[in-house]
């Protein structure tokens, strides 16, 4: 199937929130939504990076995004951001849970969770929960949660993984956080349909895309040479961040995307035009998804349905 950003329908009248939009896939996603006339909020942690990204997006798209300060590794920040958005706007049509960290040295979130699971899954779980009333005010609300092909490298996730109680292996933890993203996507879809909501929950993954994520983990660990090597290899082997954003944009904007869809690159889940793909067997485990949902409510103190 052939698809490009030229196939994105006009987004006039649609309000979207994109997390992690200062660079990479999030930036490319926000840019195309702006170019197609959506009203875009970018939720970002670093104010300086947010200001630069907003200026660059405005220059490139001819339309300015709104900036919301959000640290997904701090549940109080998530609550404050959601409250700010809810006070300012009467509805939210689209939430793209995009931000994430990858293969970092062991760190904890403000609330004591392992950083990758805490940021990539729990932060977005809490954000989605707190913004759900605003999403329900939209005529056709949609939540797109960005995972990774790395979700296929792990077979399960447990409550103990929230705090790395059984030890920490950075790539395994990343894979589990991305598995959690898909489990969350599909369970949100099941619960929305059970509640009679018209909300569409869809997932996506970018394949192998050139972003700052590959080098961020080594850089955080102080391994500058490794960060440089990762960055150079990624630039050579990966598709662009703009192409990596295609599955997210496809899931976010195509009118006929079915609830519970999972979208990735068409060529071996690696690169190319987006299409609906199958997540791993573990990601389709409905019982595991229910348990993860309950653990996430317990961890964050908020629930959706």
Check if 208 is active-site: no
Nearby residues of 250 by Cβ (< 8 Å), 6 or more positions away: 3, 204, 257, 263, 274
Given the residues 89, 106, 168, 174, select the one marked as catalytic. 174
Question: Cα separations (Å) of 256 from 161, 251, 259, 260, 305?
Answer: 36, 9, 9, 12, 25
How would DSSP label each residue in the chain?
----GGGPPP-TT-EEEEES-SSHHHHHHHHHHHHTT-EEEEEES-HHHHHHHHHHHHHHHSSPPEEEE--TT-HHHHHHHHHHHHHH-S--SEEEE-----SPPS-B-TTSSBHHHIIIIIIHHHHHHHHHHHHTTSSS-EEEEE--GGGGG-S---GGGGGTTT---HHHHHHHHHHHHHHHHHHHHHHHHHTT---EEEEE---SB--SHHHHHHHHTT-HHHHHHHHHHHHHHSBPHHHHTHHHHHHHH-TTPPTT-EEEEEETTTEEEEEE----TGGG-HHHHHHHHHHHHHHHS----
Cα separation, 165 vs 227, in Å, equals 28
Cα separation, 243 vs 270, in Å, equals 11
Catalytically active residues, by annotation: 174
């Amino acid at each position: 199937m052939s698809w490009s950003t030229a196939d994105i329908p006009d987004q006039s009248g649609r309000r979207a929130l994109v997390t992690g939009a200062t660079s990479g896939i999030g930036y490319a996603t926000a840019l195309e939504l702006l170019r197609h006339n959506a009203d875009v909020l970018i939720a970002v942690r670093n104010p300086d990076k947010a200001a630069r990204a907003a200026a660059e997006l405005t220059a490139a798209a001819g339309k300015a995004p709104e900036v919301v300060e959000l640290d997904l590794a701090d549940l109080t920040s998530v609550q404050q951001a959601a409250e700010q958005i809810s006070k300012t706007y009467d509805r939210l049509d689209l939430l793209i849970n995009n931000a994430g960290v990858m293969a970092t040295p062991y760190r904890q979130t403000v609330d004591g969770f392992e950083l990758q699971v805490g940021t990539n899954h729990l932060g977005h779980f809490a954000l989605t929960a707190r913004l759900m009333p605003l999403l329900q005010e939209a005529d056709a609300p949609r939540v797109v949660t960005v995972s990774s092909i790395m979700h296929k490298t792990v077979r399960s996730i447990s409550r103990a993984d929230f705090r790395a109680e059984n030890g920490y292996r950075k790539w395994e933890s990343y894979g589990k956080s991305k598995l959690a993203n898909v489990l969350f996507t599909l369970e949100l879809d099941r619960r929305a349909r059970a509640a009679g909501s018209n909300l569409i929950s869809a997932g996506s993954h970018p394949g192998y895309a050139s972003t700052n994520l590959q080098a961020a983990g080594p850089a955080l660990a102080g391994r500058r040479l490794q960060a440089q090597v990762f960055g150079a290899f990624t630039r050579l082997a990966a598709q662009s961040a703009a192409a990596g954003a295609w599955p997210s944009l496809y899931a976010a904007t195509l009118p006929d995307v079915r609830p519970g869809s999972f979208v990735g690159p068409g060529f071996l889940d690696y690169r190319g035009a987006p299409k609906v793909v199958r997540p791993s067997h573990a990601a389709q485990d409905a019982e595991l998804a229910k348990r993860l949902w309950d653990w996430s409510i317990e961890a964050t103190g908020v629930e959706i349905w």
